[in-house]
């Protein structure tokens, strides 16, 4: 029986799905639904519930990575889960990979990549803004309970960055990622995958040009739209608002030779 223990995080969840991430420590926790005593969570199983002093029922769940990402402190907009899932799958992330990413933002992508690596391989995060690097390190350490030993955060400009090993995967989340292609093309092995996330189509076009120039092939770009539905005993319909465009994901493979202008790959 996997029960809650002191010091763990718990997602207090209302019957309507509202969530509060709270550490299990001595003392009360209050919301507009009322107050519960956090020591009462200890020994409860996941899925159990407590009633507040106002009679509201609060279910007890362990936070998912999505829960944590949306609750963590951040300087920047996070990469949404719909895009994180696509990046992990289309980036073919697996244990043992060596991954280079820039920039780190608030650490959402780093968390997803580290989870997918399962404690193996290596993640190197390059961030030129020290305050972003510090906040990301705090968020990542808070989630794992310590700094993961296979993760390095380096304060540097990716355009001037050098390393002795070759990356299997490179991820770019930068305002002008095309400026980094010349540099990172030397840091990725032949056959390696590069993924870039950009909000504007003009950025994608600039990326496409630079990727072709620096020896990348099989360049594809897509976006993902997520629409939730309202379902109960009486109705089933799309909700009025959706997570629509958040960014374009561009995927490319490194080749051992430069692209020949005018050649056809069809």
Annotated binding-site members for S-adenosyl-L-methionine: 106-109, 127, 157, 173
Contact 58, 50 (CB under 8 A): yes
Alpha-carbon distance of 253 to 188, in angstroms, equals: 10
Binding site, by residue number, is 106-109, 127, 157, 173
Helix, strand, coil distribution of the chain in percent, nearest 5: 25, 30, 40
Angstrom distance (rounded) from CA 201 to CA 41: 48
| Burial tier of 208 (Cβ tally within 10 Å: 0-12, 13-18, 19+) | middle
CA 87 to chain centre: 9
């Amino acid at each position: 029986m996997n029960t809650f223990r002191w010091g763990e995080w718990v997602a207090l969840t209302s019957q309507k799905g509202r969530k509060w991430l709270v550490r299990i420590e001595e003392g009360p926790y209050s919301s507009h639904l009322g107050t519960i005593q956090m020591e009462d969570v200890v020994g409860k199983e996941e899925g159990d519930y407590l009633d507040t002093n106002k009679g509201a029922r609060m279910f007890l769940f362990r936070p998912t990575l999505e829960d944590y990402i949306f609750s963590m402190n951040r300087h920047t907009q996070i990469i949404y889960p719909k895009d994180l899932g696509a990046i992990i799958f289309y980036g073919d992330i697996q244990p043992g990979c060596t991954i280079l990413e820039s920039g780190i933002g608030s650490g959402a992508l780093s968390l997803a990549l580290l989870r997918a690596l399962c404690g193996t391989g290596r993640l190197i995060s390059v961030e030129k803004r020290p305050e972003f690097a510090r906040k990301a390190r705090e968020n990542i350490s808070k989630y794992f309970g310590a700094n993961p030993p296979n993760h390095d955060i380096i304060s540097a400009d990716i355009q001037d960055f050098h390393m002795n090993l070759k990356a299997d995967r490179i991820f770019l989340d930068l305002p002008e990622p095309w400026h980094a292609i010349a540099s990172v093309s030397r840091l990725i092995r032949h056959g390696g995958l590069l993924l870039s996330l950009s909000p504007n189509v003009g950025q994608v076009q600039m990326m496409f040009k630079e990727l072709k120039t620096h020896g990348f092939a099989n360049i594809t770009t897509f976006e993902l739209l997520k629409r939730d539905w309202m379902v109960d005993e009486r109705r089933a319909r799309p909700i009025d608002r959706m997570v629509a465009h958040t960014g374009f994901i561009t995927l490319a493979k490194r080749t051992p030779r430069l692209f020949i202008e005018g050649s056809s790959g069809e």
